[in-house]
Amino acid sequence: MTAVVLGPVVLAANAVDTFVQTFFRGAALGSLYALLALSFVLIFKATQTVNFAEGAMALAGTWFLSMVFVDWDVPGRWLGGPTWLHWCLAVVLAAGMTAAIGLVVERLTIRPLIGQPHFTMAMVTLGLEVVITIIAVDAVHLTPRVLAVPWGTDSFRIGGAIVAWSYLAAIVMAGAAFLWTWRFFKTRAGVAMRATAFDQEAALAQGINVGRVFAISWGVGAAIAALSGIFASMAPWGPSGVASRDGAFFVFRALPAVVLGGLDSVVGALVGGLIIGFAEVFAGQYLADHASILGYGYQQVVPYVVMLIGLLIRPYGMFGTEEVRRV
């Protein structure tokens, strides 16, 4: 996975086509931010931990996908059928393996610290980030790896606008993840999770197994981090769909989206992610004429500017809980 390099300004034949192209780029980048934000939010809501190991989990996801699909040829070695189907199954498998990492991390490092200051937990996850990344890079000799994305760098046309398949894939993936989350929150396990997030002691009093809620949220959070890592490594963002360590930093670019939307709101993750994504891409496209004043690469600063303005208006994020809960 490599850092998202925002391409130079892409001009189509006419203004409308340019807008359509830019719109899809913005929506796709916003979807990736939203996915990452969702992962942050799920983990924060349940365990009040800002998971700084998110980048390592995203990296692990891409790495697992590369291992599973490219190196081991799973499930292709047992299954017939089209390659893209194998690839999708491999993605699910990679997400599952990352979820397992999330479960282990939660059980070993987070659960013993429940009730400790948030800062302590955040430090632990930051340490995990470093450890997992180093293990991945040094012990496992992680050189940039091919992800073998089925659609590669292909794109399709809407009128005169050229849209990469990866953009559509990112949007569909984010849509599916949010839809799934929304459905999940209506199930018994989901209701238990929301109840625990709202009032842990009252949840305990109902007989909710709070430890299991923590485990589920870390597992799901890690899986979503893996998915966002995989989809963020695709062609238009990563040069040719490869996994490498500097991609872990991409995750931190989603932080403005999380903060803007509110750390404890799923809706906030979606809205915040899309706003930041659109702002970044549209600013890159339409303010390019002023690059001499704004400076090269100014669009990467835009998310933080938007976040800052957002925080000035709503210090808890757009959908965040306002009151600090009494313990």
Binding site for other proteins (CB under 8 A): 188, 191-192, 194-195, 198-209
Is 83 or 116 the residue whose CB approaches other proteins more closely? 116
Q: Find out whether 238 and 1 touch, Cβ atoms under 8 Å.
A: yes
Contact 213, 193 (CB under 8 A): yes
Report in angstroms how near the CB of residue 205 gets to other proteins at its nearest.
Answer: 6
Min dist. Cβ of residue 199 to other proteins (A): 6
With respect to other proteins, which residue has the nearer C-beta, 192 or 242?
A: 192
Kindly state the greatest CA–CA separation across the chain: 63
Rounded Cα distance between 259 and 102, Å, is 22
Given the structure tokens 């955040």, which residue do they identify?
122
Cα 191 from Cα 187, distance rounded (Å): 6
Nearer to other proteins, 5 or 204 (CB): 204
Count CA atoms closer than 13 A to 247's CA, side-chain side.
33
Residue 208 Cβ, how far from other proteins at the closest point, in Å?
5
Distance CA 98, CA 56 (A): 10
Nearer to other proteins, 38 or 232 (CB): 38
State the residue for tokens 């966002």: 228
Of 133 and 196, CB closest to other proteins: 196
Shortest distance, CB of residue 217 to other proteins, whole angstroms?
A: 16
Q: How far is the CB of 115 from other proteins (least distance, A)?
A: 8
The distance of closest approach from Cβ of residue 186 to other proteins in the complex, given in angstroms and rounded to an integer, is: 8
Which residues are CB-contacts of 71 (< 8 A; sequence separation ≥ 6)?
Answer: none
| Cα 243 to Cα 246: distance, rounded to the nearest angstrom | 9
**Using an 8 Å Cβ cutoff, are 34 and 274 in contact?**
yes
Q: Is 168 exposed, middle or buried (0-12, 13-18, 19+ CB in 10 A)?
A: middle
Q: How far is the CB of 213 from other proteins (least distance, A)?
A: 10
- In angstroms, give the least distance from the CB of 40 to other proteins: 19
Q: Which is nearer to other proteins, 150 or 190 (CB)?
A: 190
Amino acid at residue number 179: L
- The residue (of 14 and 187) whose beta carbon lies closer to other proteins is 187
Local structure of 3: helix, strand or coil: coil
- Nearest residue (CB) to other proteins, 293 versus 327: 327
The closest of 171, 166, 289 to 233, measured between CA atoms, is 166
Q: Which residue has the tokens 């490594």?
A: 233
